[in-house]
Amino acid sequence: MNYPNMIPIRQEFPSTALKDVPAAVRAELGKLPLQQRIPRGARVAITAGSRGISNMAVVLATLVEELKRVGARPFIVPAMGSHGGATPEGQRSVLEHYGITEENIGAPIRATMEVVKVSTTPEGIPVFLDRYAYEADRIVVVNRVKAHTDFKGSIESGLMKMMTIGLGKQKGADLYHRGFVQHGYYRIIVSVAREVLKRCPVAFGLALVENARKETAIVRAIPSEEIEETERKLLRRAKRLMARLPFDAVDLLIVDRMGKEISGTGCDTNVIGRSVIPFAKFPPKPKILRIFVRDLTDQSYGNATGIGNVDIATTRLVRKIDPQATYMNCISASAPEMARVPPHFDTDQEALHMAFRTLGLVEPQEARIVHIVDTLNLEEMEISEALLAEAQAHPRVRITGPPKPLSFDSEGNLISSLSPPSAY
């Protein structure tokens, strides 16, 4: 097979990063003001999720320091639904991976899968809350506000979802995801979160927004009564800042790795523009005919949720899948489709050969190919010559090197300039 030449490019994103994240956190807390929201001596539960959020450990440590300064007794509760294998030990381990430990944060971590029923939504759905959070005098909800991978609405992934799925633990996450099938994501998330805000001692939220370079761009402390409306505004800003592929139509997307720390769906569906979940809706662009994923990150601990969105994979990726972790996540999300394993092959060369055979009448050398490390890192990538003219005309794209043949090592695996060969 005659493979196309690949050209390295760089997608330029403006830097809107905060220069001093701890200072931004302190400034926001000062606007509340903090001492009016948190009584002296109050036991304060702070949420920490399972996503790789930039500066999260720094944000939490600063928040803990400021809460102690006003005489509070803060502690961290894992708020990640069924992630971490739906066990307290597993959820502690997930936080440790992100540097969220008692030593680094300055506060104890209290992990449990026990929940308390606090209310019922207008739809008749029980509202569950982490037992430690329920027993606290105050709750502070911390999360990144971003586009969700499975649905679109004015509220998607953020503080409201953290109060619903995160603090609902495995029992709540499982129930709410089943409710999504009949009522939709947006309705359930908003309805449950409103009950939490009404019935539980949520003092305020601390929302983070990242830019296309994965930098912390916005920190916002939000009084509990303003969380819903402010999150809607922050989501609009987050969507304007998010990274995307610079091309609308792609024949083949080659992805070096998928993983839970990259996206809840392994490959961010907002980037690849697709989901096998039947009730998920996405804009018509980008339109990607085939997706080939080469590997699963070690940080996923075998959780390959989202593999169902992939067309072709490698055997080495499939061998890393932990069925229990993947099935638990997908079943809890009422999305068994996301665990479907695609055709997989022993080498990249064999997998690509099969991928090219499914592009219809398009010859490999004429195919519109994009090669990325993962859907979180979209600055550096390689493209085939068929996309060169579009790349040259794109205001945000710069050609960074000459064309080179798509080539393979002695074992038949892709030689990539985007990431160390040792990573695969």
Q: Mind listing the pLDDT tens digit for each residue in 134-180?
A: 999 999 999 999 998 888 889 999 999 999 999 999 999 989 988 88
* H/E stretch holding 271: helix 269-272
**Averaged pLDDT of the chain:** 93
- CB burial readout 173-207, b (16+ within 10 A) else e: bbbbbbbbeebebbbbbbbbbbbbbeebebbbbbb
pLDDT, one tens digit per residue, over 81-123 is: 877 778 999 999 989 989 999 999 999 999 999 999 999 999 9
The pLDDT value recorded for residue 424 is 34
H or E element in which residue 414 lies = none
Task: Map out the domains of the chain with their CATH numbers.
Answer: 5-13+244-423 (no CATH), 32-241 (3.40.50.11440)
pLDDT in tens, 345-404: 999 999 999 999 999 999 999 999 999 999 999 999 999 999 999 999 999 999 999 999
Q: Cβ atoms within 10 A of the Cβ of 224, count?
A: 21
Instruction: Please tell me the predicted confidence (pLDDT) of residue 149.
Output: 82
The pTM of this model reads: 0.85
Q: What is the pLDDT of residues 221-263, one digit of tens each?
A: 999 999 999 999 999 999 999 999 999 999 999 999 999 888 8
Q: What's the pLDDT at 423?
A: 39
pLDDT tens digit string along 257-288? 999 888 889 999 999 999 998 877 777 889 99
**Three-state secondary-structure class, residue 269:** helix
Q: Two tokens at 343?
A: 């055709």
pLDDT of residue 283: 76
**pLDDT score at 15:** 82
Predicted pLDDT of residue 419: 66
- pLDDT of 416: 83
The contacts of residue 22 (CB under 8 Å, 6+ apart) are 58, 59, 62
